[in-house]
């Protein structure tokens, strides 16, 4: 059994919103494997930082197996992309019927303040939220910025020529 034929048969690569952020491979998990713990109950985002990682992930999905496994090959691999700023990036669907993504990259000092349970930050640096509409994403950004501003000032630099901001 190949994950590419079953568990990950429906997947879409969301290209990086800008050069300092990764791509996201979004897997639409079939209903038999869906779970309320997944974003919108059915999506599994995979943070892909390089072309080599994308090829490695595709090979992982294409490998023959005796049973399905979680496609978590890259989930706990430390991020190679670092920065001192919190970065929010919007990822628009490339085709109708797929959701919007908000990927946040958190500096190490923020990530270190969260008690570790292993699943809080993908690759030790990212959180990813999935939304049916861009309006839901914008509302979530506003709430998150409000919480962050209540703890210390946040500098927001908009980049209108690209789909994303930090």
Whether residue 23 is contained in a domain is answered as: yes
Phi, psi of 119, deg, nearest 5: -120, 5
| 87 domain-assigned | yes
Assigned domain for 156 exists: no
The upper half-sphere exposure of residue 145, i.e. CA atoms within 13 Å in the direction of its Cβ, equals 15
Residue 131 lies in a domain: yes
d(CA 18, CA 79): 16
Range of the domain at 133: 3-149
Per-residue pLDDT tens over the stretch 32-51: 999 999 999 999 999 999 99
What is the domain count for the chain? 1
Nearest to 29 by CA among 11, 47, 13: 11
Global pTM reads 0.87
For the chain of 166 residues, list the mean pLDDT of each consecutive stretch of 10.
Answer: 94 90 96 94 96 97 94 91 84 95 88 71 92 95 84 55 42
Q: Report residue 12 as tokens.
A: 């879409």
- pLDDT of 119 reads 66
């Amino acid at each position: 059994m190949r994950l590419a034929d079953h568990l990950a048969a429906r997947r879409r690569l969301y290209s990086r919103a800008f050069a300092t952020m990764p791509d996201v491979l979004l897997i639409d998990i079939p209903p038999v494997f869906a779970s309320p713990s997944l974003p919108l109950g059915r999506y599994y985002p995979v943070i892909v930082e390089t072309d080599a990682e994308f090829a490695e992930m595709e090979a992982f999905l294409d490998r023959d197996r005796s049973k399905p496994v979680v496609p978590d090959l890259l989930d706990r691999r430390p991020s190679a992309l670092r920065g001192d700023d919190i970065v929010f990036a919007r990822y628009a669907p490339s085709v109708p019927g797929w959701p919007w993504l908000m990927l946040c990259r958190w500096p190490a000092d923020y990530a270190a303040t969260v008690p570790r349970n292993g699943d809080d930050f993908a690759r030790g640096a990212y959180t990813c939220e999935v939304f049916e509409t861009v309006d839901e994403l914008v509302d979530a950004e506003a709430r998150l910025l409000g919480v962050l501003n209540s703890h210390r000032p946040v500098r927001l630099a908009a980049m209108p020529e690209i789909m994303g901001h930090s």
